[in-house]
A and B are shown apart, each in its own frame.
Chain A
């Protein structure tokens, strides 16, 4: 069983695109074209793809500073994302946000939030709004394992359950909160799933590197939310291929562990599954080539765009477009 071929190809295509974009972001970083910091989701693509493919166009995504993939997965422009990373005027936020804040409201990508846990109640609020507007929309909120130890996680789960909000919380457990193994700072083995019971929720612990599993988990939890049965808390086990952020070589991770997880690369695994399931190799190769080309074009467009505009510094604090605080 599992998703049909069309869905599987879409999942594969999305994962490859997210992987190539992140890899390119890394390369461009190494060229010193990207300033500041950036947090790549290399290795975590199956979660973003599984949910994005299962979501309705008008559903809401809330994600963290490791949010390039989640934002692009909703269909946001790659050139605008790369432009934002490069601080260009074509950037998604015209240079005001940077790598950690990619947002495209027109695609339901409601923002990337850089304070751990902050977006959880905000996602619940969007779900509350959908509930009272009876719009049928669902909010999906992605966060890391480290978030499970901050207060907003607990405040939000409690409120979301009490108000039966149409929201799905997705813990991407990549085993490290920044540089520290999550189990060394957490009271339970599974930081999200083991706490689900505290909020009367089912413990959902799934393989976050399996796109089919993620798609099915997403479909099930989103359907539950949409039908008015309330929130879900998913813990998806995964692994980031690189460090926490720019300049973190992740040398704190045992070599054996890295080797094992690299062998479970979500894209490599999925490609093999599709090939052995009868999908034509040429079709997969075309997806690979198209993704590469898409990233090339986006990078080219961003590199050629002029820098972010100085004139915009004092715009858009307020809804009138300006920033006046006095008369």
Chain B
């Protein structure tokens, strides 16, 4: 095991797959010579050369469109969209073209491509560089949606996304780039569509994603000292969604809390709550509760942004009051 930062793990995941498969190419803005604005792709240009690791103009439609055309014709491109907020500038490519073309042609083409993007808040960047948009992608049939919470998963899930024969949107929560964690040595590939139980408790189940996972774990620690023993599940992949693991853990404790960075309406937790309501209602001992960012654009100033996103204190408080 080596200790890597999240950003080093991203680069390691890309490097592992580029070494293994000569059809993997990587393009994006500032990704080659500069190593990415979040330094998550440092060293790739030197290692794989300017043909396979390539800087693009600020042209998100052209970047995603080019990746799609290349994926249709024999490459496995990875693209970086610098901030997930910029997905809005190429949403036609993603939602109309990448997501639908396989279906509309009844399987004539496959689109093995990965769109990596820095997602989420906590960096004081304001509302156009801080959104948590994985739920946009989740709403479009034809896209797989992955969001890791640890360096090990950043590498292993990214490798799995690159090997996947279908388009994957890979959301890297930007406040996680600096965290450190153990990453298995040698080839490391995870499986898409698998949630992970990080902590097993008796009283309630807290389901979280990406940067909300460490907060859910911290909250579970505090709840423990208050006599509430919480299970924590890292969803990891929204599409495919590991409902088997999530529902199993909900049934065990009879209580479900979701911790979502998305603004309130139509966050991924709403889907999970709705599935639980349909499929394990009889196992529930109380209301299911969603802990989210309020339905506002994310403000920039530190105290405002910190308070808007689900905090450890808010998770603890919400669970405590609901469990009373």
**A residues in contact (CB < 8 Å) with B:** 60, 62, 93-94, 96-97, 101, 103-105, 110-111, 113, 115, 118-130, 132-133, 139, 151-152, 155-156, 158-159, 162, 312, 315-321, 323-327
B296: interface (CB < 8 Å):
no
Identify the closest chain A residue to B75 (Cβ).
A129
Chain A residues within an 8 Å CB radius of B92? 115, 118
Separation in Å of the A70 CB from the closest CB of chain B?
15
Known interface pairs A105-B109, A118-B97, A132-B75; A156-B51 also in contact (CB < 8 Å): no
Q: A120-B65, A316-B106, A319-B165 are in contact. Are A111 and B101 (CB under 8 A)?
A: yes
Instruction: Give chain B nearest CB distance to A111 CB in angstroms.
Output: 7
**Any A CB within 8 A of the CB of B105:** yes
Task: Find chain A residues with CB under 8 A from B66 CB.
Answer: 121-122, 124-125, 128, 159
Residue of B whose beta carbon sits closest to that of A126: B69
Residues of B within 8 A of A93 (CB): 104-106, 108
Q: Which of A97, A133, A151, A325 sits near B106, CB closer than 8 Å?
A: A97
Report the separation of the CA atoms of residues A326 and B238 in the bound assembly, to the nearest whole angstrom. 9
Contacts of A312 in B (CB 8 A): 106
Are B165 and A123 neighbours in the complex by a CB distance under 8 Å? no
B16 at the interface (CB under 8 A from A): no
Contact of A118 with B93 in the complex, beta carbons under 8 Å: yes
> Residue on B with the closest CB to A109?
B108
What residue in chain B is nearest A318 (Cβ atoms)?
B166
Partner-A contacts on B (CB < 8 A): 25, 51-52, 56-57, 59, 61-75, 77, 92-93, 96-97, 101-110, 112, 141-142, 165-166, 193, 239-244, 275
- With A316-B102, A318-B102, A327-B193 given, name 5 new contacts (CB 8 A): A96-B105, A159-B59, A316-B106, A318-B166, A319-B110
- B65 adjacent to A121 (CB under 8 Å): yes
| B64 cross-chain contacts in A, Cβ below 8 A | 121
Tell me if A128 and B70 are in contact (CB < 8 A): yes
Q: What separation, in Å, do the CA atoms of A304 and B63 have in the docked complex? A: 44
A119 vs B65: C-alpha distance in the bound complex, in angstroms? 7
Contacts A93-B104, A312-B106, A317-B102 given; does A118 touch B65 at CB 8 Å: yes
Shortest distance in angstroms between B19's beta carbon and chain A's nearest beta carbon?
Answer: 17
Cβ contacts under 8 Å, A133 to chain B: 73-75
Number of A-B contacts defined by CB within 8 Å: 159
The reply to whether A132 and B93 form a contact with Cβ atoms under 8 Å apart is: no
Residues of chain B with a CB closer than 8 A to A94's CB: 106
Q: State in angstroms the CA–CA spacing of A127 and B107 once bound together.
A: 21
Minimal Cβ-Cβ distance residue in A for B243: A326
Chain A contacts for B93, CB-based, 8 A: 118, 121
The answer for the CA separation of A118 and B61 in the assembled complex, in Å, is 8
Is the beta-carbon distance between A121 and B61 smaller than 8 angstroms?
yes
Nearest-neighbor residue (CB-CB) of A152 within chain B: B61
Please give the distance in Å from A8's CB to the nearest CB on chain B: 32
> Which residues of the partner chain A approach B74 to less than 8 Å between Cβ atoms?
129, 133
Residues of B within 8 A of A320 (CB): 165
**How distant is B96 from chain A, measured CB to nearest CB, in Å?**
5
Query: Bound state CA distance, A152 and B63, in angstroms?
Result: 10
Contact assessment for B243 and A327 in the assembled complex, using a CB-CB cutoff below 8 Å: yes
Known A60-B73, A319-B166, A327-B242; contact A125-B65, beta-carbon cutoff 8 A: yes
Q: Is the CB of B59 within 8 A of A155?
A: yes
CB distance from A213 to the nearest CB of B (A): 28
- When A122-B69, A125-B70, A156-B65 are in contact, do A96 and B106 touch as well, CB less than 8 Å? yes
Contact of A323 with B141 in the complex, beta carbons under 8 Å: yes
* Top 10 A-B pairs, shortest CB-CB distance: A125-B69, A121-B65, A125-B66, A319-B165, A155-B59, A316-B107, A155-B62, A126-B69, A122-B69, A129-B70
**B69 / chain A contacts, CB cutoff of 8 Å:** 62, 110, 121-129, 139
Contact A152 B243 (CB under 8 A): no
Closest to A116 in B: B92
**Neighbouring A residues of B193 by C-beta, 8 Å:** 327
Picked from A139, A158, A315, the residue with its CB within 8 Å of the CB of B62 is: A158
- A129 to B68: give the CA distance in the assembly, Å: 10
Known contacts A129-B69, A158-B57, A316-B106; A121 and B62 CB within 8 A of each other: yes
Most A Cβ at <10 Å: residue of B59, B61, B244? B61
Return chain A residues, CB-CB under 8 Å to B25: 132
Are B97 and A115 within 8 A (Cβ)?
yes
Task: Write the chain A residue with the least CB distance to B164.
Answer: A319
Chain B contacts for A115, CB-based, 8 A: 92, 96-97
Smallest CB separation, A150 vs chain B (Å): 9
Q: Say yes or no: A158-B59 contact (C-beta < 8 A), given A124-B65, A125-B69, A319-B110.
A: yes
Residue of B with least CB distance to A124: B66
Tell whether, in the assembled complex, residue B103 and residue A124 are in contact, meaning their CB atoms are under 8 Å apart.
no
The residue of chain A having its C-beta at the shortest distance from the C-beta of B89 within the complex is: A151
In the bound assembly, the distance between CA atoms of A130 and B52 in angstroms comes to 14
Residues of A with C-beta under 8 A to B142: 317
Collect the chain B residues with CB atoms within 8 Å of residue A152's CB. Answer: 61-62, 65
* Assembly CA distance A152 to B240 (angstroms): 31
Other-chain contact of B67, A104, A125, A323 (Cβ < 8 Å): A125
The reply to whether B104 and A325 contact each other, CB–CB distance below 8 Å, is no
CA distance A324 to B275 in the complex (A): 15
The 8 Å CB contact of B65, one of A122, A132, A321, A327, is A122
User: Chain B residues with Cβ under 8 A from A156's Cβ?
Assistant: 59, 61-62, 65
